[in-house]
Amino acid sequence: MTRLVGAAALALLLIVTLLITAPARLLDRVVPAELVILRGLSGTVWNGSASGVLFRLPQGYFQLGAVEWSLHPLSLLTLSPHLAFTSKWGRQTVAGEVILRSQQDLDLFDLEVQLAANLLGRFAPVAVDGFFTLQSEVLQLRDGLPYSGKGRLVWNNAGWNSPRGLVPLGSYALDFEQPEGGPVEGDIITLSGPLQASGSLQLQQRHYEVDVQLRSDTDLDAQVRQMLSLIAQPDGEGFRLNLAGDL
């Protein structure tokens, strides 16, 4: 019995060793090509890089750019790979750690993201400018939906691309938190800018509710007022944005 256990442990160690020393190019054979495209793989499965990574989404491809990763070898024993990673595509950056539990279940830690705001135009009919930055201590997804998390999302140098040109709005933050299995609840605050925004956001499974008060201490640009009148209701000297629906 002791010999059997020892042989099994040795075999397991050999398998793990082969996995972590295997060349990174082997990932092309195991990563589903219908979901992810990998280019320029180098290094090993344990510690490697790719010159380009693209995710296939219903709206088209999402470019991560150059990616580097480091695998925690012992995580292979639990069949839940744990990786530290960084990616860069121009001014777009992503860094953090991830535990891959399945295609739709994952845990993210110490996540830092910077994305161009105009990417929203691929998902909704909006013409916005600036950059989104996300910092999250933990973010867990189950069945592809938020399960728990905590962090801050900032819209830096927000702007609206009007027919007459770019209209600057300001910088805004969403501080959010979600207990395990509960709703995502967030507070919206203004960091700077002529358009003041304050309110709340809630996301339960796929259902969302947004309630934001919009105002300004000075006269708003006529284009901004026209834009707000299309998406929000007049409320005193400002506007109130109430949205609810399903993702």
Question: pLDDT tens, 167-204?
Answer: 889 999 999 999 999 999 999 999 999 899 999 999 99
Task: Pull the structure tokens for residue 234.
Answer: 């007049």
Q: How confident is the model at residue 73 (pLDDT cuts 50, 70, 90)?
A: confident
Nearest to 126 by CA among 117, 134, 135, 137: 117
Domain count, the chain: 2
Same structural domain, 47 and 149: no
The whole-number pLDDT of residue 17 equals 57
Same structural domain, 69 and 176: no
Helix, strand, coil tally for the chain in percent (to 5): 20, 60, 20
CA 239/CA 241 separation, integer angstroms: 7
Give percent above pLDDT 70 in the chain: 91
Same structural domain, 121 and 216: yes
Same structural domain, 241 and 146: yes
Lowest mean pLDDT among 18-27, 150-159, 183-192: 18-27
The whole-number pLDDT of residue 204 equals 94
Same structural domain, 120 and 203: yes
Same structural domain, 129 and 67: no
Domain that holds residue 58: 1-100
Q: How confident is the model at residue 209 (pLDDT cuts 50, 70, 90)?
A: very high
CA 213/CA 241 separation, integer angstroms: 6
Nearest to 131 by CA among 108, 159, 109, 152: 159
Inform me whether the pLDDT recorded for 226 exceeds 90: no
The whole-number pLDDT of residue 165 equals 85
The whole-number pLDDT of residue 98 equals 96
Q: Between 148 and 163, where is the model more confident? A: 148
Boundary of a domain, candidates 35, 70, 100: 100
DSSP-derived 3-state class of residue 144: coil
Tell me the residue length of the chain.
247
Same structural domain, 96 and 120: no
The whole-number pLDDT of residue 15 equals 57
Same structural domain, 49 and 148: no
User: DSSP of 13-80, one letter per residue?
Assistant: HHHHHHHHHSBGGGHHHHS-TTTEEEEEEEEBSSEEEEEEEEEEETTEEEEEEEEEEEE-GGGGGGT-
Lowest mean pLDDT among 26-40, 101-115, 151-165, 195-209: 26-40
CA 208/CA 225 separation, integer angstroms: 25
Q: How confident is the model at residue 136 (pLDDT cuts 50, 70, 90)?
A: very high
Same structural domain, 91 and 22: yes
Q: How confident is the model at residue 214 (pLDDT cuts 50, 70, 90)?
A: very high
Boundary of a domain, candidates 100, 120, 146: 100
Q: How confident is the model at residue 5 (pLDDT cuts 50, 70, 90)?
A: very low
25-63 pLDDT, tens digit per residue, is 888 887 888 889 999 999 998 899 999 999 888 878 899
DSSP-derived 3-state class of residue 135: strand
List b or e across 107-135, with b for residues whose CB sees 16 or more CB atoms inside 10 angstroms: bbeebebbbbbeeeeeeeeeebbbbbbbe
Lowest mean pLDDT among 116-125, 131-140, 164-173, 233-242: 116-125
Task: Pull the structure tokens for residue 121.
Answer: 């135009």
DSSP-derived 3-state class of residue 100: strand
